[in-house]
Amino acid sequence: MKKLVPRACGYKVWLFSLLLVSHACCIASGAASTSPGLSAPAWLVICKHNPFVNESTDTRPLFVNGFAEHEARKSTLWWTKVPGATSYSVYRGMGSNKELPTPIAKNVTSLTYVDSGLKDSTTYYYEVTAKNATDESPRSLEAHATTKSPPTLKMEPATPCPWMGDSIIRNAAWLSVIASSEDSSLSYFWFSKDPASANIKIIQTKSRLESAASNRAEVHFSRAGTYAFAVKVTDADGLTSRAETSVTVNSVPSTITVTPETITLRPNQTTNFKALVTDQFGKTMASPPKLTWSVPLGDATIDATKGVFTAPKFRPGPADWQTTVTAAYPGGLLKGTATVSFHDRGPILVQPISITQVKAGPPPGSTAQLSVLSKHDAGDDAILYRWAITKSPPGSSQNLDTWSRTPTYWVIKDGDYAFEVTISDRNGVSITCSIDAVARNGVLAPVKDDTLVH
């Protein structure tokens, strides 16, 4: 058989898209056959029209590289029929000129072969031989093809949902993935790797943002923690890629509840307020921030860090009044409050008026001591006493230590007497206590064993 000499078409030889086949012509190249009756096959490389080849008179058998097609997980090969051949064998390798000695397909009787089950984004190399009952031709020139790549994904960092106006992720986040693919048609499937912890909602309409394709997902959370999410992107050929991301949701103080919420205190009484801080999910924060306690200036005192409140002993104004206790988050934007009501009970009588003879003797030589005992929530220093002689015989002394709790009276006349004391606090809350007495031979004694309190 005549030796085939390679003839070039003046263009660099590449494998082009199958769409070019209808506009291409073939050039033959090969090696001399060592098998009588079968020509050495030659690949027909797709190129522009070659004026140096007379295709109508070239009768040599040719293999046609019908393009090891750029497909999803497969390559497709075509060739022309070789006279005398009864079948064909296809050899494959993972590198140029590294085809394995054992064919991946033999006894192929058609002029095409589909090599399937291939890996994505992988280049495969092929050679083909023709066979008859006794002979096998030399291998054709090599062709190669790279299988289609699945979509390339880039997961964007999670952000707060723009329509919620948050600067941090509180109870919802926006997930987004950027997909690159040879296909314009891609489908997205978002899912949570913690399905019991979060609710996933795929954005499918433009109701929220100008662009709301399914490459975005709106995620709602039920509690603080770290969540794992994934998206599977599939192209038109069924090639899929998966990307994952995680979102950490921190507990953010959202409400402060002060307990007791309302309380009524007496002057100088102390109580300890507590603050319960809950996060955006209504969960009590295990490690709440330090709060600052305060009350209006002059109303009372409170420990700024511990919340220990002390009512004032005395406050000018009405006997019953209110103030507000505030527990504030640093910065003062988040606060919790409680209402404190005050009730001034005023003085409480402990022992009614009593009379004790200090010096006995006929008038004007005797003295008697008046005494009364009371208490007050704010302490003894909050009590004021004012005595008065409301009844006395003519010519008796009107001298009395008016502001003392135990005044002394000089008895200079026998007869009927009446004494009265007004016990009050600084808010003007008062009680009045009185006693009737009689003086005989200079001795002053109560008419009755009890006194009147009003």
pLDDT in tens, 378-407: 778 888 999 999 999 998 988 888 899 999
Spatial separation of the C-alpha atoms in residues 61 and 50, rounded to whole Å = 18
Spatial separation of the C-alpha atoms in residues 87 and 65, rounded to whole Å = 17
pLDDT for 393: 94
Spatial separation of the C-alpha atoms in residues 212 and 201, rounded to whole Å = 12
Range 1-148: architecture per CATH = Sandwich (2.60)
CATH 2.60.40.60 assigned to 255-343:
yes
Beta bridge partners of 340: 263, 323
Beta bridge partners of 208: none
Chain CA centroid to CA 74, Å:
46
Position 221 pLDDT exceeds 70 = yes
pLDDT (tens digit, 9 = 90+) per residue, 254-282? 999 999 999 998 888 899 999 999 999 89
Position 314 pLDDT exceeds 90 = no
pLDDT for 202: 58
Write b or e for each residue in 262-284: b if 16 or more Cβ atoms lie within 10 A of its Cβ, otherwise e: ebebebebebebebebbbbeeee
pLDDT (tens digit, 9 = 90+) per residue, 16-49? 222 222 222 222 333 334 344 555 444 333 222 2
In the predicted model, what is the mean pLDDT of residues 203-223? 60
Domain extents in the chain: 1-148, 152-249, 255-343, 348-453
Among the CATH numbers 1.10.287.540, 3.40.50.2300, 2.60.40.1080, 3.40.190.10, which is that of 152-249?
A: 2.60.40.1080
pLDDT band at 174 (very low <50, low <70, confident <90, very high): confident
Position 62 pLDDT exceeds 70 = no
In the predicted model, what is the mean pLDDT of residues 397-421? 92
Position 215 pLDDT exceeds 50 = yes
Q: Identify the residue with better confidence: 313 or 101.
A: 101
Same fold, 1-148 and 152-249: yes
Overall fold of domain 348-453: Immunoglobulin-like (2.60.40)
Q: Are strands 63-64 and 43-44 parallel, antiparallel or unpaired?
A: parallel
pLDDT for 166: 77
pLDDT for 17: 26
* Range from 331-340, 373-382, 402-411, 413-422 carrying the lowest mean pLDDT: 373-382
